Amino acid sequence: MDKIEVIEKIRNTKIIPVIRANSTDKAQIIIKALIEGGIDVLEITMTIPNAVELIARLSDEYKNTAIVIGAGTVLDAATAQKCVRAGAKFIVSPILNVETVSFCNQCKITVMPGALTPTEIFTAREAGADIVKVFPVSAMGGASYIKAVKTVFPHIEIVPTGGVNLENAVDYIKAGALAVGMGSELTKDKESTITTNAGNLRNKINRK
């Protein structure tokens, strides 16, 4: 799957679960529940123990499926390189690290650095970001902020994260976001609840 296909996959799915767990076993339980709920784009964060090995395992397990595995909380190019070698199809960061963006562009891997203010968002795009992660979006007023940003930057694809929940996710999509990033609001419950919430949210977004 090339960069354009990955971006289109994110556009169609509209939900990127930000997966954090204190073990790979717990992470895999969350991942299984999300997939059963119809989520096929997954962000495996570097805060999970042995995250790179988990990405490699998942990339191999789902290599002939529609599931897209990416890496999150990537803070430098060296870590990005490890994740790409493990099979990650996109790289996400809460910050803008120019070396990471440059590396991903050289490898033709979708890259989503973090930014918050209009200047930071524009700078990230100019640095070569395919998508800009706006984080933490709740600190800037939520969906109304995304709507305002998209008014002046209609050409920049944005994924708000940090404060997105089951109740307001649709508001961000309506405001112009490419997709939303969701952490514990989507992944904190037991397996069956995660699956139900994921399925319900997908249906809700598709009906918007």
Catalytic amino acids? 43, 133
Angle at 178 (CA atoms; ends 14, 50), nearest 5 degrees:
60
Backbone angles phi and psi of 103, in degrees to 5: -60, -45
Classify burial at 108, counting beta carbons within 10 Å of its beta carbon; exposed 0-12, middle 13-18, buried 19 or more. Answer: exposed
Please name every residue paired with 68 in a beta bridge, in sequence order, or none if there are none: 41
Q: What's the CA gap between 156 and 140, in Å, rounded? A: 18
How long, in residues, is the chain? 208
Contacts 24+ apart (CB under 8 A), 56-60: 56/86, 56/87, 58/31, 58/87, 59/86, 59/87, 59/88, 60/87
